[in-house]
Amino acid sequence: MLSIALSELIQIFRNRLVLVTSLIMPAVVSAFFIYRHEVFASVASLGYIAAIVMFTVGAFGLYTTVVTTLASRRQTLFLKRLRSTAEPDTGILAGLLLPVTVLALVQVTVILTVLAVVAGGPANVLLLVAAVLAMVTMMVGLGLATAGLTNSPEHAQVTTLPISLSVIAVASWVGISGTEELTLLKRLLPGGSATELVVNAWNGGVAVTDSLLLLAPTVSWVVVAVALAARMFRWEPRR
């Protein structure tokens, strides 16, 4: 698994398209939100900014790169060749996805640390960590599911748009309007409960036990995504 992960890390830094989508674009967008944090905080809160930059990395960095990577490795028959080795399927997928997942976690950590230094830190760091880990797990699961419907890296530019744009839209909706109205709907949408959890973790004022309950909808999306991935994921190109 580790040899696969190392090889994949090298490929990420060699592929300009993946490098831009997974590292540069999320960093630029996040830098803009942090630079204009006072304006955005006046509309919503610092917790909203934290949620938006987190999902920017999660959607346009992690999720998109997972789909593109798996589609590319399938198209070149690399996945098929890996299955002929002694490495189990779970080890192959873990090796392929470990580098981009670690990079996303590092990005989120650095960006949120910068936000904390510039604008003030979160009220509950551990709750924020739980939200970030839940988001990462959900986006990886959705990436695996979407990869099953994606025929090529070029096709990934289309298949990833619905979920990428949806989670950003949901995060903005929940972060700005809150969950006082349409509570159940907002929490059940992908990214809704994770956004509320980040807002609570950063702004404070909500009991930890109440906030932890927000992990349930996100975990449910993880279960759904993994079930879809197990059903739709393909190791070889369609004939």
Q: Return d(Cα 42, Cα 148) in angstroms, integer.
A: 41
85 DSSP assignment: S
User: What average pLDDT does the structure give for the chain?
Assistant: 84
pLDDT band, residue 37 (cuts 50/70/90): low
- Kindly tell me the burial class for residue 207, based on how many C-beta atoms sit within 10 Å of its own C-beta (0-12, 13-18, 19 or more): exposed
Percent of the chain whose predicted confidence (pLDDT) is above 70: 93
Name which of 225, 23, 6, 18 is nearest 96 in CA terms.
Answer: 6
pLDDT band, residue 63 (cuts 50/70/90): very high
DSSP, collapsed to helix, strand or coil, labels residue 189 as: coil
Kindly compute the dihedral angle of the four CA atoms of residues 35, 167, 163, 229, in this order, to the nearest 10 degrees: 120
Q: Give Cα 178 to chain centroid, integer Å.
A: 21
* Residue 170 contacts residue 190 (beta carbons within 8 Å): yes
Q: Where are the domains of the chain?
A: 2-232
The pTM for the full model equals 0.89
Amino acid 185: pLDDT: 92
